[in-house]
Structure 1
Amino acid sequence: MDSLAAQLPALLGVLVGTIGTIVATSLADRSRWRRNQTVRWDERRLDAYVEFARALKETHTIASRLTGGYVDRDTALAALAEADFRHTLAWENVLLLGDAPTVTAARAWRDSVWEVERLARDGQADADRPMLLHRANEARDAFYHAARGGLGVGGGSVAQAELLVSRLNLRTDPQPAAPAER
């Protein structure tokens, strides 16, 4: 009995060590699994956002060209219908995988592009065209801001709306007069 009592501290040490190893390994495995799940869903979320942005930008581009009279109407309307179909499919992935702020921003972008598309389908000149196009560009910027925030992408703003307006203003502003010769 004395030998068992002498070995008891060693046996308890082995038992505590074994339990500690099991607990530590279990916690590490659980943490690794959660990290892998997060990476996996972030990748899928990124793919959904990219697919949605590509499809909606295609719709926006076709509709804006159609409102400007730059393309054949029948061809553009057919392309618009196809782009709208792709956009609808991509929207479902955003709804399924997106976080709330990104889905809200995506909805606002989609709605603003629908306004441009409505204008294109109506086929009438509209003085609000520049405002609708700018609103869609601002909504796109908000979507990218929300998506980047939800995915943890840093690097600052990637906003394009104001840049596009300034470029448009440069194209439409009259050229300054040449300096007078002396």
Structure 2
Amino acid sequence: MRLLETMMPQVAALIGVVVGTVGTIIATTVAERARWRRNQMVRWDERRLDAYADFTRAVKEIHLLALGMLSAHRPGARTPALDGEEGLTRLAEADVRHTLTWEAVLLLGDEVTIRAASAWRHAVRALEQAARSLPDPPNDLTELVRRADETRDGFYRAARGSLGVRGGSVDQVRRPANNRVPAMRL
């Protein structure tokens, strides 16, 4: 009986140490897993941002080249005119970059962003086809440009949502032409 009375506090202390150790191991494991998941999310978000930015540059390049080639056929166009021969060469080069960046969007993007990217891509492709059809462009150039701009805005909204970027609207289409940022005064 005396042995049991002597051992009971030691057993209780030993149980406390074991429970504390197990609790520490569990808490550390849970914290490490959470930190690993956060790091993975940041890592993929960075890669997704790069993929979206590269894709945007590639599609916008094709868009601007097409507008340059079509500028003589668009009343009030602000895009500098681009020679047809040079434009076709540059479009071919830009199309390679576009194709490569599209693959990264397909790999890293979420479903909503991929759909929006695809819509923008097809709208810009229609502008490109119009530029390639010169000297006989289609009659609906204004509509093609508007559609490309609207689908670009849709892609930006989807990409920002995918990346968790908050803030106001980034739509470019609805902004009135006279609502420009004033020049800085020196």
Alignment TM-score, normalising by the size of structure 1: 0.88
Distance 1:71 1:55 in 2: 18
Alpha-carbon deviation of 1:6? Answer: 2.4
Moved more, 14-23 or 120-129: 120-129
Q: Which residue of 2 aligns with 1:67?
A: 70
Equivalent pair of 2:116/2:154 in contact (CA under 8 Å): yes
Alpha-carbon deviation of 1:161? Answer: 1.3
Write out the 4+ residue segments of structure 1 that deviate beyond 3 Å after TM superposition. Answer: none
**CA deviation profile, 1:17-64 (whole Å, cap 9, x unmatched):** 000000000000000000000000000000000000000000000011
**SS in structure 2 at match of 1:85:** helix
Higher helix content, 1 or 2 = 1
Distance 1:101 1:135 in 2: 18
Alpha-carbon deviation of 1:99? Answer: 0.4
**SS in structure 1 at match of 2:171:** coil
Distance 2:51 2:119 in 1: 17
Gaps of 5+ in 1: 169-182
Q: Which residue of 2 aligns with 1:149?
A: 161
1:33-48 pair list within 5 angstroms: 33-48=36-51
The one-letter code of the counterpart of 1:143 is: F
Q: Which residue of 2 aligns with 1:171?
A: none
Query: RMSD of the alignment, in Å?
Result: 1.1
1:16 aligns with 2:19: yes
The one-letter code of the counterpart of 2:160 is: R
Alignment TM-score, normalising by the size of structure 2: 0.87
Equivalent pair of 2:153/2:173 in contact (CA under 8 Å): yes
Q: Which residue of 2 aligns with 1:99?
A: 110
Q: Which residue of 1 aligns with 2:94?
A: 83
Q: Which residue of 1 aligns with 2:152?
A: 140
* % identical equivalent positions: 54
Moved more, 63-72 or 143-152: 63-72
Distance 2:153 2:137 in 1: 26
Equivalent pair of 2:131/2:137 in contact (CA under 8 Å): no
Gaps of 5+ in 2: 73-80, 179-186
